[in-house]
Amino acid sequence: MGSWRLDDDDALLTELRDALRAADSVPAEFLTAARGAWAWRNVDEELAVAQLAFDSACDMEPAGLTRSGSGSRTLAFSSGDVLVEIEVTSTGVIGQLSPASGGRVTARTSRGTFDESTIDPAGYFTLRVPPSEPVRLDAHTSGYHVATSWVCLT
């Protein structure tokens, strides 16, 4: 900051112009971090995260359930009244949302979307075989928006 007289308007304007130009030179990584932080400001209001409640790969089968022995894996995620149930087979993922509602489901990895599907009015959807890395399902319906916690499906 230079020295200027209090009655010198031109010097004051020059000083203000220099200060504003310095503010324009914010590093790109700072701007990216700031935008990312701003995007997360209300994530709890926008998205319910359904936590893994059951995984046939490590949990005992519930009483009364009959399994086909097909080598499939069953997982259930819950968030409040919303339940996401999926069966992972060698040919892909079959799932159902409850309460049933039509919409769209997106399956994501840390690298981005690997598959998307329509959810029919009964809450059913199908997806391709998942990759061998953590996956998150993100469902948008007319009544709610829910995403599963991250889990390896293969």
Domain ranges in the chain are 9-39, 47-148
CA-nearest of 51, 151, 140, 47 to 93 is 151
Return the pLDDT at 64: 44
Handedness of CA 42, 99, 106, 86 (dihedral sign): positive
pTM of the predicted model over 0.75: no
pLDDT confidence of residue 69: 55
pLDDT at residue number 37: 74
Q: How many whole angstroms separate alpha carbon 114 and alpha carbon 93?
A: 12
CATH of domain 47-148: 2.60.40
Sites in the chain below the pLDDT cut of 50: 63-66
User: What is the pLDDT, as a whole number, of residue 123?
Assistant: 97
pLDDT one-digit tens code per residue, 6-38: 677 888 888 888 888 776 677 788 877 877 777
Under DSSP, the state recorded for 132 is: S
